[in-house]
Structure 1
Amino acid sequence: MTIPPNDHFDTLDRDLGRIARVENAVQYVAQPMVGLGVAIAFIVLAGLASTLFFGGTQTSYVVVAAAAIGAYMAVNIGANDVANNMGPAVGANALTMGGAIVIAAICESAGALLAGGDVVSTISKGIIDPASVSSGEIFIWAMMAALISAALWVNLATWVGAPVSTTHSVVGGVMGAGIAAAGFAAVNWPTMGTIAASWVISPVLGGIIAAAFLAFIKTFIIYRDDKIAAARTWVPVLIGIMAGVFAMYLALKGLKKIISVDLLPAVLIGCLVGAVVYVITAPLIRKQSEGMENRNKSLKILFSIPLVLSAALLSFAHGANDVANAVGPLAAIVHAEEFGEFAGKVNIPLWVMVIGAFGISFGLILFGPKLIRMVGSQITKLNPMRAYCVSLSAAITVIVASWLGLPVSSTHIAVGGVFGVGFYREYDTERRLRKSRAARPEMPVIAPEERRRRKLVRRSHFMTIIAAWVITVPAAAIMSGVIFFILQASFV
């Protein structure tokens, strides 16, 4: 037997190495293609299902197309909107990416199917007067244009890494299609003014509330000499507040399909739930904190479970509310096709909610990690305490906005909370530095360039997100108007 020379083995190793690199490259390139393929398959299946399983012979090609576009919209919601609920928990390392995706998919779907509103304002809270539209066919193409433009805009925002409001995208789409179909007089401009005000109010309010809770935690727990003793006192209180707030949140916003609750009864429910949870968690926190070291790492452990629960509850409430708004134009099209008339409010068929719920889950699993990482770790560094403040702020802000009658975006509130936490950290760091320098004048002065480098909020992400928020409604409106004219010229 002849033994091949060593250089033959070297050649073989090099060839195998090249093959391995090619395989790795193919796998890397194929990953986004697999996600895209699965998403396309779901969209096609949703369109076919509207005929084969839900619509029967009454379903026209318009409903098939609308169902497919509605599925596309739902996928984009999962890729973009859900990141705001799970991003802080992942960024704080309280949840892995896989765990966050599983919890969000289950809770979003459960919220949509179990507690999703069965009646929705298909024209986004009175943006357009249906009576101003000349015919049912024009109304259908206007809703189709709104759905397409909103989905395209959210898709574009996800691609550039900007968390935007899907509700505001739908508002812009409906407004643009309504203007194209019936002129500027068809738009309820006072309502649009209220929505525009919410662009500023909701993120600012969310940021202020998140910063206030972080200031409380730092003052009464983190900066105390005995952090563990302070945590035993205040962590159960904070968990009770969280439970009470989410009970109010779900009573007001998430359980409309089951029961309608006014503000005062919701407050009483929240107080009762908060008190019960405090009584239960106080001994548990005391037992969990036994033997813990007196440092911040121990505090992170105590906040991790409440943070995971708050993220899950936010996802449930988001599924119960925002999904219905997103599939509203689809419900309007189905209603108009089925009854030959159009209305401001219609029932959402179960199969439409199923498309919304499953589409969100697919979008989250396939494309959600990009925005989850951005919200959770690329704006500012989060730990369980900071992320907890963001989640609690989101729930409180929605309740306050509901009380004031303001239409707000959960996206704007959650991201505003992240910014609020980051900017408060910058303020607190600067404040403590000034205090230390006053006590020790010999401390070296930090150069302005170094001070800018140490900023705790990434300004580039801040400007990108703010710009995306500002142009969401006009961009979706312009796209919707153009799409409506194309559809009208092609099919009417």
Structure 2
Amino acid sequence: MPESLRKPTLDKDLDKLTTMEMAAESVSQRVVAPGLAILFVVICAIVSGALVTGHQGAVVIVAAAVVGAYMALNIGANDVANNVGPAVGARAMKLGTALVIAAIFESAGALIAGGDVIGTISKGIISPEAVNTPEVFISAMLAALVSSALWIHLATWLKAPVSTTHSIVGGVMGSGIAAAGISAVQWTTMGSIALSWVISPLLGGVIAAAFLAFIKTAIIYREDKISAAVRWVPVLIAVMTGAFSAYLAIKGLKSLVEITLTLALVIGLGTGVLAWIISRPLIRRQARGLENRNQSLRKLFALPLVFSAALLSFAHGANDVANAVGPLAAIVHTAELGEVASKVSIPLWVMAVGAFGISLGLVLFGPRLIKLVGNEITKLNPMRAYCVALSAALTVIAASALGLPVSSTHIAVGAVFGVGFFREWYTARSQRRADYVAMRSETNGNGSTPKTTSKRASADDQRRRFLVRRAHFLTIVAAWLITVPAAAILSGVLFAVFRAVFS
């Protein structure tokens, strides 16, 4: 063998060491995230134990805090991906930036505006009068928490964006039925919640499609795209700012001063107008020198897309913190009083468990599903992603204001589907697009003109192609359908186990 083909022993050893280092780094990355998650759960146990020392039912409260922290981590890993996934998929911001923004606004939404929905979860599904024994009620809530957390963990591992709201509501319902029969469930409340589950994804899809239709009509297909964007992008920013301000006025300031709905709307209108005034020169300055084409519009939509992702994270934190700490709040209240109360107070530390647990779960385990929502359902650009985020944010805000624990997963993914299906419909029926495709097909790579049949075939292919991946659509809908019964059955079984062990 020639000398040049022989590998010195030292080089072989160095290659082995490099391979070992890469393997060790890969293993350490897989261990760090679970290790930090376990550390968070342990900290929650220690803090809750210190706060309830000497109280009645301290052991039960600490156990519930551990399960609530585990539940919050799973919500962050699974559900929060819907908030920033479209922005990441559209390449409007990097994954690290998206994680930071989502973590900050998730925590803010949970701590500022998460109280109303917690009341619905903790005492609106199971009637306290039907489960009037503290031990039974605590076992039911604990079973609901454990079953929901386990189901969401499994779904996250399978890379399925299931609804955490469905999981916890199904868990509460299943343990309630196991504890006191069907009569324990407040079916009127359940009916309104179930109806909101059906309406919310449809509403999210319709609103997202409507915004995309407006953007196409008012900006994309205008002769001067940049001038149209300079005119309308500040208006879209004003809509987001106004909605966010009105909601924050109603929810976040009610503990300081009483604000009526009319006053909140006036505040929203005022801040919206202010946002329009401020954003107009910024967008105009950003538009200078841009070419009159769609690629340039993406730059102008970067700022409103980031803002809408932050708004959706805030709204999600306000709505979905209930999934983590609603049953926990009920357990803490019942254990401390020794009786099932009709009104549940929410300690600050309970809210903090949900808020920080969701944020940490997002940072540690969220990127997998962020990529699914952002890249694998349909192709998103900044304009489409903005429509998804704004639609989902407005729908979640409205639901949280009404005290309805709707599924943000349903709303956000429904908005993604709405954008994709609208594009399919628009592609099949838009004469403007058909003319554009035909024009692009008039010359091939060599500058020659293809046959008329080829042009027609190209346009027909554009009309027929699917822009939403049907496999993901069917898989996600199937996961939505199975979540409630699966969580309910598991919760009922766990309740029976808890009662057998601790009674």
Q: Does TM, scored on the shorter chain, surpass 0.5?
A: yes
Letter in 1 for 2:62: V
Which of 30, 51, 56 is the aligned partner of 1:54? Answer: 51
Which of 463, 474, 480 is the aligned partner of 2:485? Answer: 474
In structure 2, relative to structure 1, the CA distance for the partners of 1:205 and 1:402 (3 Å cut) is same
2:114–2:322 Cα contact (<8 Å) kept: yes
Which of 355, 358, 371 is the aligned partner of 2:356? Answer: 358
Offset at 1:273? 1.7
Equivalent residues in 2 for 1:151-300 (5 A)?
Answer: 151-252=149-250, 257-258=255-256, 261-300=259-298
**SS in structure 1 at match of 2:301:** helix
- Matched residue, 2:457: 445
CA distance in 2 between partners of 1:225 and 1:174 (Å): 56
Which has the higher mean CA deviation after the structures are superposed, 425-434 or 385-394? 425-434
- Matched residue, 1:369: 367
Which has the higher mean CA deviation after the structures are superposed, 407-416 or 441-450? 441-450
Letter in 1 for 2:472: H
2:108–2:314 Cα contact (<8 Å) kept: yes
CA distance in 2 between partners of 1:16 and 1:214 (Å): 55
CA distance in 1 between partners of 2:312 and 2:166 (Å): 19
CA distance in 2 between partners of 1:265 and 1:177 (Å): 42
RMSD after superposition: 2.6
Offset at 1:195? 1.9
CA distance in 2 between partners of 1:415 and 1:102 (Å): 21
- Matched residue, 2:470: 459
Equivalent residues in 2 for 1:70-219 (5 A)?
Answer: 70-117=68-115, 120-121=118-119, 123-124=121-122, 126-219=124-217
| Structure 2 residue 497 is the aligned partner of structure 1 residue 490 | no
1:122–1:331 Cα contact (<8 Å) kept: no
Offset at 1:237? 1.4
1:122–1:329 Cα contact (<8 Å) kept: no
In structure 2, relative to structure 1, the CA distance for the partners of 1:117 and 1:220 (3 Å cut) is same
In structure 2, relative to structure 1, the CA distance for the partners of 1:125 and 1:168 (3 Å cut) is farther
Equivalent residues in 2 for 1:328-367 (5 A)?
Answer: 328-367=326-365
CA distance in 2 between partners of 1:354 and 1:406 (Å): 21
| Structure 2 residue 38 is the aligned partner of structure 1 residue 40 | yes
**SS in structure 2 at match of 1:292:** coil
Offset at 1:230? 0.9
**SS in structure 1 at match of 2:344:** strand
Unpaired runs of at least 5, structure 2:
443-451
Which has the higher mean CA deviation after the structures are superposed, 158-167 or 247-256? 247-256
1:75–1:364 Cα contact (<8 Å) kept: yes
Unpaired runs of at least 5, structure 1:
none
CA distance in 1 between partners of 2:205 and 2:85 (Å): 16
**SS in structure 2 at match of 1:120:** helix
- Matched residue, 2:447: none
Residue deviations 1:13-35, cap 9 Å, x none?
22322332233233223322221
Which of 350, 368, 376 is the aligned partner of 1:378? Answer: 376
Letter in 2 for 1:27: E
CA distance in 2 between partners of 1:366 and 1:402 (Å): 26
Offset at 1:57? 2.7
Residue deviations 1:150-190, cap 9 Å, x none?
11122122122222332222111110010000001111223
CA distance in 2 between partners of 1:401 and 1:45 (Å): 32
CA distance in 2 between partners of 1:216 and 1:381 (Å): 19
Letter in 2 for 1:72: Y
CA distance in 2 between partners of 1:337 and 1:351 (Å): 16
CA distance in 2 between partners of 1:7 and 1:404 (Å): 74
- Matched residue, 1:396: 394
Letter in 1 for 2:103: A
CA distance in 1 between partners of 2:341 and 2:472 (Å): 40
Percentage of identical aligned residues: 64
CA distance in 1 between partners of 2:176 and 2:258 (Å): 31
**SS in structure 2 at match of 1:381:** coil
1:154–1:169 Cα contact (<8 Å) kept: yes
Offset at 1:484? 0.4
TM-score, scaled to structure 1: 0.91
In structure 2, relative to structure 1, the CA distance for the partners of 1:465 and 1:276 (3 Å cut) is same
CA distance in 1 between partners of 2:479 and 2:342 (Å): 29
